Structure 1
Amino acid sequence: MTRLALHSRLIPGTEEAYELEHARVWPELITVMNRAGITDWSIWRSGRDLFHLVECDDYEAAVAQLANDPVDKRWQEHMSQFVESFAQNPEGLAGQSLRHVWTMTEQQD
């Protein structure tokens, strides 16, 4: 199981609308995400900055599978009215994941 963090930024003035859209995400989107191997996705917001925690079998494979899924394409198009961009990290999985620094449970005495 892979756990990774992503960072994206909202278009100014869309913060409340973005949160309303996530009050209940389309159930069919959750189905296709699960089918792609994504087991959980959490989002935190600070101002316009969004921090995502994704748990999945293989993020790069999931992104590749979702790229051809009509439900995910509709969702991405719909959310483009709120999301300005995702931070890019050439070292990260699929060019997006943030650099992992430390996890308490991974530290051994």
Structure 2
Amino acid sequence: MRVALHTRLKPGTEAAYEQAHREVPEELTRAIRAAGAHAWTIWRSGLDLFHVIDCDDYPSLIAALEDLPVNIAWQARMSGYLDVVHDYTAEGATKGLPEVWNLP
């Protein structure tokens, strides 16, 4: 499964957000992989962040991470940088960014 997400930074937090991502705890990256993620890339354009996640099942991945102390601490840190957390809702109509075109 491939999911594309959009998040947005609070103005002035760009450098701190990028620095934080140079320091992602190894315990968290191991947990993300164990939860079924194969790859996760984030691009930044100004305040806008675009994520592409290749995983077994995104809702299951998020559920597996939800109660882990290392993820709770990471999400608390990220909340200081993010204006829009993400646009993915498993129950609602939004399932991340819709694919418009793909070069096979």
> Please, what TM-score do these two structures have when normalized by structure 2?
0.89
Tell me, in whole angstroms, the C-alpha distance in 2 between the residues paired with 1:69 and 1:19: 23
Q: Secondary structure at the residue paired with 1:51? A: strand
Q: Distance in 2 between matches of 1:60 and 1:43?
A: 19
CA distance in structure 2 between the partners assigned to 1:35 and 1:87 by the alignment: 22
Q: What RMSD, in angstroms, separates the aligned Cα atoms of the two structures?
A: 1.3
CA positional deviation for 1:36: 0.7
Counterpart position of 1:11: 10
- Return the alpha-carbon distance in structure 1 between the equivalents of residues 77 and 86 of structure 2: 19
Listed one character per residue, the Cα deviations across residues 38-88 of structure 1 (whole Å, up to 9, x for unaligned) are: 111100000000000101000011111111211111100111111111343
Q: Which residue type is aligned with residue 78 of structure 1? A: R
Shift of the 34–6 alpha-carbon distance from structure 1 to 2, 3 Å rule, reads: same
Detail structure 1 runs of 4+ shifted over 4 Å in the superposition: none
Give unmatched runs, 5+ long, in structure 1.
Answer: none
* Separation (CA, whole Å) in 2 of partners of 1:33 and 1:25: 11
- Paired residue for 1:78? 77
Q: Distance in 1 between matches of 2:28 and 2:75?
A: 10
Q: Give the structure with higher Rg (CA).
A: 1
Residue 104 of structure 1 aligns to a residue whose secondary structure is coil
Secondary structure (helix, strand or coil) at the match of 2:38 reads strand
5+ residue gaps, structure 2, are none
Within 2, Cα distance between the matches of 1:25 and 1:88? 22
Query: How far, CA to CA, are the matches of 2:5 and 2:25 in structure 1?
Result: 21
TM-score, reference length from structure 1: 0.85
